[in-house]
Amino acid sequence: MLDAVEVHAATLFFGVPTMYHRLAGHERVSGLRSLRLCVSGSAPLAADLHGRLADQAGVQVLERYGMTETVMLVSNPYEGHRRPGSVGIPLPGVDVRLGGGDDEADGPSGEILVRGPNVFANYWESPEATAEAFVTDPDGGDSWFRTGDLGAVDEDGYLSIVGRTKELIISGGFNVYPREVDDVLSLHPAVAEVAVAGLPSPEWGEEVVAWVVPAVGYECPDVDELRSFAQDHLAAYKVPRRVVAVGALPRNALGKVTRHALRLPD
């Protein structure tokens, strides 16, 4: 990809977080300085990775949020400050609210519900799926589409994606958003990549487990070391109870980590 940027004098690049992660660790990452615009999509881009790319290549990656059923919904500004860890603010004409969540210290969180002229009307010949995808507006307005994504909104109205509803871990009755734990653990110098998921536990219902790809030149941190590190940044119930060292994380064709494919070693 870096060869292509140089040979073709590319000015635009659209990629997924996996690509940006690999570019940030490459000795030729400064070659991205010729790009006028870099866009990341398909999955949230970690705030620290956004900062590393800015430092190493002078690139302020543009994060946005949309899906097949809605096209583009939310975006950081093309011009001006882009907020790391956030997908931005709703586009004109788009309404966004959070439903079915809880109030945590950093602000309201819940499933992202959207409506607007860009939202699709129905799934083809699937009335049951369509009915499940929309919720009635309590004030009698247009129905809201359920994205299946979990989000949080800060005091300035910027939206962050914190996970998927089906990925939510409930441990000891508390909600744990895997993305939040991922972001903290990824700050450890010995961690190249990490993904957190919940596994059944007779005591907790589900327990938080971290699958870790060690950074080059490091051994995988053991559970005590990683727990000690995480406790400075996370509530106790969010701290992983197990750590599994792996060579790579399972991903789909778009580069998204498939948490449901994470398994304990035999």
Q: Are 112 and 151 in contact (CB under 8 A)?
A: yes
Percent of the chain at pLDDT > 90 equals 68
Q: Are 35 and 12 in contact (CB under 8 A)?
A: yes
pLDDT of residue 100: 65
pLDDT at 101 over 60: no
pLDDT of residue 81: 83
pLDDT bracket for residue 186 (50, 70, 90) = very high
Residues 74, 149: Cα–Cα separation, whole Å = 13
pLDDT at 106 over 50: no
SS3 category, 235: coil
Phi, psi (degrees; rounded to nearest 5) at 235: -65, 150
pLDDT of residue 165: 85
pLDDT bracket for residue 163 (50, 70, 90) = confident
pLDDT bracket for residue 109 (50, 70, 90) = confident
Which domains are present in the chain?
A: 2-60 (3.40.50.12820), 89-164 (2.30.38.10), 168-261 (3.30.300.30)
CA distances from 179 to 87, 173, 248, 257 (A): 14, 18, 18, 11
Residues 197, 177: Cα–Cα separation, whole Å = 9
Q: Are 98 and 110 in contact (CB under 8 A)?
A: yes
Q: What stretch of H or E contains 2? A: helix 2-7
pTM value? 0.75
- DSSP-derived pairing of the beta strands 62-67 and 37-40: parallel
Q: Which residue has the tokens 């903290």?
A: 184
Structure tokens at 20: 């940006």
Provide mean pLDDT across the span 155-176.
89
pLDDT of residue 223: 94
Structure tokens at 222: 């053991």
Q: Mean pLDDT across the chain, nearest whole number? A: 90
pLDDT bracket for residue 156 (50, 70, 90) = very high
Q: Which residue has the tokens 């949309």?
A: 66
Considering only CA atoms, which of 255, 195, 194, 258 is closest in space to residue 42?
Answer: 255
Structure tokens at 130: 């369509």
Considering only CA atoms, which of 246, 259, 186, 244 is closest in space to residue 213?
Answer: 246
